[in-house]
Amino acid sequence: MLKDKFAQRFTELASQAQKLRLMSGISSPGYYENFEGWATSVQSLIRAVFTETSPHYTEYVTAKRQCRNGNKYSVDALKDIFAAAKDAFENDYVFDVEAQVSGELFGDFVTAAKHALDEGHKDVAAVLACAALEDALKRYALANGLTVEGKSMQDIVGALKAKGLVSGAEKGLLDPMPKVRDYAMHARWEKIDPASVRSVIGYVQQFLLEHFSG
């Protein structure tokens, strides 16, 4: 499911790239008008698919920093990196997205959180479970074209709700979890009880199965 979302997003941004308006310059090769939104969306997508440490992402960020007023050569460099990323994704030159997310997060974070809670270490379990949920929510938001850079977990939850990506009973279960996350990340252990941690673990486990499994 997530891989399909990414494929759709690549197609949408490829279409947008073709529609970028090139303005002719008197003594220059010209510049692209209003390219910033497209460029930022591409950065978010490459980050979600390839991660921040990948060559595609690091090269894109470097090239984006060098963009000056939409100069044709600079923006064309971004378009070339985007095209290469799209080709790598479509031809399975990168590891499977669902395997990365459900395998790493579900296998490591969630299992470790459950084990820590069973051993009586609720604080450790809370940090692991909340980290898994926050990362899953960010990836899901990115896959659906939302911006997560600099956003709190509460903001991301709000954006998912506004777009109708989280609704019904799922929305009610998710509502208290940003607060649990804040308590865990700010070491306010007295505010966290084992039942709350177990709820986060159960929710993130179900969320990954519903939204990240093929």
CATH number for 97-211: choose from 2.160.10, 2.130.10, 1.20.950, 1.20.120: 1.20.120
Residues in a beta bridge with 115: none
CB 75 within 8 A of CB 104: no
- Among residues 139, 120, 117, the alpha carbon closest in space to that of 129 is found at 117
What integer pLDDT is reported at residue 106 of this predicted model? 55
The secondary structure of residue 31, as a DSSP letter, is: E
4: number of Cβ within 10 Å: 12
The overall average pLDDT reported for the chain is: 84
What integer pLDDT is reported at residue 120 of this predicted model? 92
SS (HEC) of 180-203:
HHHHHHCCCHHHCCHHHHHHHHHH
> Sorting pLDDT into bands at 50, 70 and 90, what band is 94?
low
145: number of Cβ within 10 Å: 15
State how far the Cα of 155 lies from the Cα of 163, in Å rounded to an integer.
12
> Sorting pLDDT into bands at 50, 70 and 90, what band is 198?
very high
What integer pLDDT is reported at residue 97 of this predicted model? 56
pTM of full prediction above 0.75: no
60-99: b (≥16 Cβ within 10 Å) or e? beebbeebeebbbebbebbbebbebbbebbeeeeeeebbe
Percent of the chain with pLDDT over 90: 35
CB 32 within 8 A of CB 127: no
Position with higher pLDDT, 108 vs 10? 10
Structure tokens at 194: 């084992």
Position with higher pLDDT, 79 vs 100? 79
Lowest pLDDT segment from 129-133, 168-172, 177-181: 168-172
DSSP 144-179: TT---TT--HHHHHHHHHHTTSS-HHHHHHHTTHHH
pLDDT, tens digit (0-9, with 9 covering 90-100), for 12-65: 999 999 999 888 766 567 888 889 999 999 998 888 888 777 888 899 999 998
Residue 82 has pLDDT above 90, yes or no: yes
The secondary structure of residue 32, as a DSSP letter, is: E
Domain with CATH 1.20.120 in the chain: 97-211
Residue 99 has pLDDT above 80, yes or no: no
State how far the Cα of 142 lies from the Cα of 51, in Å rounded to an integer.
12
7-39: b (≥16 Cβ within 10 Å) or e? bebbeebeeebeebeeeeeeeeebbbeebeebb
pLDDT, tens digit (0-9, with 9 covering 90-100), for 136-166: 888 888 878 888 878 889 999 999 988 888 8
Q: Can you tell me the mean pLDDT for 162-174?
A: 83
